[in-house]
Structure 1
Amino acid sequence: MKFIYFLNNKLLQPYLNTFSGLSKEVWWLSLITLINRAGTMVIPFLSLYLNKSLDFSLSDVGMIMSAFGAGSVVGSWLGGKLTDKIGYYKVMVISLVLSGLLFIGLQFISTYYGIMLGIFLLLAVADMFRPAMFVALSAYSKPENKTRSVTLIRLAINLGFSAGPAIGGLIIATLGYGGLFWVDGITCIAAGFLLLKVLNPKTAKVQDNIVSQNPKSAYKDGKYIIFLVAMVLFSIAFLQYFSTMPLYYKDVHVLSEFKIGLLMGMNGLLIAVFEMPLVKWLESPKYTKTGLVAFGAVLTLISFIVLNVTAWVGVLVIGMLFMTIGEMIAFPFSNAFALKRAKQGNQGEYMALYSMAFAIAHIFGHNSGMHMVELVGFTNTWYIVSLVMVICIAILLMLKRKMRFQKIEE
């Protein structure tokens, strides 16, 4: 009984308390995001589908994946523009339903240029959702809860990405790739109809109605642009953990696919369990958001440096731990910084640029990492990535100092 009391009062209840105070609309938005992310299960299998089922060469697959990234950039930009013009609610519904139809239609295209155009259009429509979702999140959250609301959305995204590939593999084994496209499409459309039902403007309660009389263009916000440059650099380095790092695990440390899966799965598990309590603990006036993002970047930098310190296989776990903690700090507070900055201008435009920073990193991050490994090897690649992180940290600290000098606490 003492153990049960300890488990409930000392561990479970404090953990659950970190989720308290969030509006029901934020919870609905998180559920819709979870369905949407789990529904995009075709994405992890896309290169395999193109290479094995449609017999495209690896260079063709690389070009198609570049179209994937370009579509993401265009979608993020377009989503921000439309959000400022017609509102986040309509943009989210249009994005979910249309992307569902495009997922279903993509399976019927088999030509190289047709697939390239189809994937570009699919991502352009699907990623309209992101800036609109961030603006909705800001509206449905009280000012003091915005960072934790972002963290809940990140939890939904991580759970969706964790469940998606597993479900996708099962669907491919039983129904083939055609079934995967159908399920992807249907889940996106279902998420759209759920959004229509539970977040209709007539019933949803807005917690923070932000109206700017003289909206500022995000493109003219110098400090915000500097911040986004740092986030592009951070993301290029961070993405190495999902492209070049698995190759490093296999080629240098000779890990099996199962062990690589466990190591990568540790990232999602730690985020699911610890990110919300960590964010709640760090939400304090004594910490600035730029300072916390810089600290997260420092931990991510260490995760790359330790890989070159020793050949001991245990360093892989240490590196993953540093990266995961860095991610848990940097991403929620960078998002919160963007949301707060967006209050003074066109919210959709601000959040579109924030989403585009990650889309741009996707275009360059994977390719640059693969080329560096091929040209200079893994050891030198980690040194180069570490240098990128040093520049990122320097930019963030410069921005923090500049804002403190001007007495802007962000």
Structure 2
Amino acid sequence: MARDNRPTLQPRPAPLRVPAAYWTLVAGFTICRSGCVVVPFLSLYLVRQQHFSAADAAQVSAAFGAGWAIGPGIAGWLADRIGRRPTLLVTLSAVTTAYLLFPALHTLPALTAAAFAVGLLFDAPRPAVLALVADLVPEEARGRAYARLYWASNIGAGVAGAVGTAISDRHMTALFYVAAASNLAFAVTVLIRRIGTAPRPATPRKRPDSPATGYQALLRDGRFLALTGLTLLYLCSYQQVLFGLPVAMDQAGLKPSAYGIISLINAIGVVAFQPLLQPWIDRRAPLVVCATGAITLGLGMGANLGARQSLIGYGLAAAVWTLGEVLFFSSVMTVVERLAPADARGRYTGIWASTMGISALIAPLISSAALDSGGPELMWTTSLALGALAAGGLLALKRRIDTTPTVPEVVDLELAPSRT
């Protein structure tokens, strides 16, 4: 396995040159992300449109979160087992169907089951997409390729926020049709442009001097498990943007529209910061960048302590934690890809991506417990501590990887992915 043993400073990289299929993949994934309009409004849809209680809405949302926690792991296994392209087509078609069926359901058990299915599927394309980037892009350009994908997907997320806000007041059911259309558009792109790699052979030849790839080997990979755990710590702090910040701003007497302004600052910040920071990111080891992002996120969360009742204060804090978001997510996939064997990239990215769903289950528990026990002050202090712990752990992981002997990677030509 490759290791993150680059010096802190490196020469300026050459311009990004990647296959055309990579740009098609980025465009398709951005379209898919631009339709992620259901999740932010799911609870509101259940309460306003379906007339369920807040407790019932929480039950349905919890089912969604449970599906999200396990979906990427299953999808990652599929990406390695049947191939990237079939996995994308299956998951995108399935989630399109789930979105179309959701508005026709009206009982709590049916909606709970449907929410679990949507959670299972809505982020399932991600492992195949991330694995495909490594398949398509030369190693020296992968870091920038992942960063560009992250940047483009955030443009899609910004579009999703604008679309969702525009249509949610009058046509909330239409949110599901927008989500279905965006996933269908990505599926058609994959189908027509033949994006993807060939399936793995049923009995692949193992690399010399390396363990058998798969979940058993993955679960023995201490470095990858450490990275996954540290990512979860980071995300438990980061997810307070979704779960803790709206409550804290409401308790401070700010209007709901104020949170929309913070979300807009975040979206603009990601789009603006990422290209500006990329030259700095390119010249530093990925885990150093991730650690910098984690502590910056923590400091941004801690800065909310000084915001009190000021929208300007929350906006300045948002600029700081957005910077931490950009640094972390622009680099972390480079580390995952370097730790993953070529024929297990789907599983590695799937397990890593599952931390997003798991953190969405844990973060609300942290924020509610902190708010009940010590108010916003305890919640933001806890978020700062989580960011600091993640940063320290990431730097320790870098030292561990730097001192671990590297096993030369021997590529079996029968396993090498096609460059379609």
TM-score range for the pair, normalised by the shorter chain length:
0.7 to 0.9
For residues 195 and 228 of structure 2, the distance between their equivalents in structure 1, rounded to whole angstroms, comes to 32
| Count of aligned residue pairs for this structure pair | 382
- Whichever residue aligns with residue 37 of structure 1, its letter is R
For residues 328 and 235 of structure 1, the distance between their equivalents in structure 2, rounded to whole angstroms, comes to 13
Q: Percentage identity across aligned positions?
A: 20
The 3-state SS of whatever aligns with 2:51 is coil
* 1:88 Cα deviation after fit: 0.8
What do residues 124-149 of structure 1 show as CA deviations (whole Å, max 9, x unaligned)?
12322111111111112121221221
For residues 191 and 162 of structure 1, the distance between their equivalents in structure 2, rounded to whole angstroms, comes to 18
- 2:249 touches 2:309 (CA, 8 Å); kept in 1? no
- Whichever residue aligns with residue 251 of structure 1, its letter is Q
Residues 92/19 of structure 1: CA separation in 2 closer, same or farther (3 Å cut): farther
- Mapping 1:265-304, distance limit 5 Å: 265-284=264-283, 287-304=284-301
Say which is worse superposed, 34-43 or 193-202, in terms of deviation: 193-202
Residues 96/115 of structure 1: CA separation in 2 closer, same or farther (3 Å cut): same
Match of 2:416?
A: none
Residues 191/22 of structure 1: CA separation in 2 closer, same or farther (3 Å cut): same
Residues 44/19 of structure 1: CA separation in 2 closer, same or farther (3 Å cut): farther
- Mapping 1:326-345, distance limit 5 Å: 326-343=324-341
Match of 1:184?
A: 179
Say which is worse superposed, 94-103 or 123-132, in terms of deviation: 123-132
The 3-state SS of whatever aligns with 1:156 is helix
For residues 408 and 235 of structure 1, the distance between their equivalents in structure 2, rounded to whole angstroms, comes to 29
- 2:302 touches 2:383 (CA, 8 Å); kept in 1? no
- Mapping 1:349-388, distance limit 5 Å: 349-388=347-386
For residues 408 and 388 of structure 1, the distance between their equivalents in structure 2, rounded to whole angstroms, comes to 31
Which one scores higher on RCO, CA 8 angstroms, separation ≥ 6?
2
Match of 2:317?
A: 319
* 1:190 Cα deviation after fit: 2.1
Q: Could you tell me the TM-score, scaled by structure 1's length?
A: 0.86
- 1:148 and 2:144 equivalent? yes
Unmatched tracts of structure 2, length 5 or more: 1-12, 199-204, 408-420
Match of 2:190?
A: 195
- 1:18 touches 1:276 (CA, 8 Å); kept in 2? no
Residues 250/220 of structure 1: CA separation in 2 closer, same or farther (3 Å cut): same
* 1:306 Cα deviation after fit: 2.6
Residues 88/307 of structure 1: CA separation in 2 closer, same or farther (3 Å cut): same
Match of 1:29?
A: 25
The 3-state SS of whatever aligns with 1:177 is coil
What do residues 228-273 of structure 1 show as CA deviations (whole Å, max 9, x unaligned)?
1110010010010122112223322x33333332222111112112
Candidates 282, 303, 308, aligned match of 2:305 = 308
- 1:19 touches 1:276 (CA, 8 Å); kept in 2? no
- Mapping 1:217-256, distance limit 5 Å: 217-252=217-252, 254-256=253-255
- The two structures, once aligned, show a CA RMSD in angstroms of 2.4
The 3-state SS of whatever aligns with 2:105 is coil
Q: Could you tell me the TM-score, scaled by structure 2's length?
A: 0.84
- 1:218 touches 1:345 (CA, 8 Å); kept in 2? no
Residues 290/408 of structure 1: CA separation in 2 closer, same or farther (3 Å cut): farther
Higher helix share: 1
- 1:77 and 2:76 equivalent? no
What do residues 142-170 of structure 1 show as CA deviations (whole Å, max 9, x unaligned)?
21221221122212221222111322343
For residues 66 and 60 of structure 1, the distance between their equivalents in structure 2, rounded to whole angstroms, comes to 10
For residues 108 and 245 of structure 2, the distance between their equivalents in structure 1, rounded to whole angstroms, comes to 29
- Mapping 1:87-98, distance limit 5 Å: 87-98=83-94
* 1:39 Cα deviation after fit: 1.7
For residues 119 and 195 of structure 1, the distance between their equivalents in structure 2, rounded to whole angstroms, comes to 26
- 2:76 touches 2:350 (CA, 8 Å); kept in 1? yes
Residues 260/92 of structure 1: CA separation in 2 closer, same or farther (3 Å cut): same
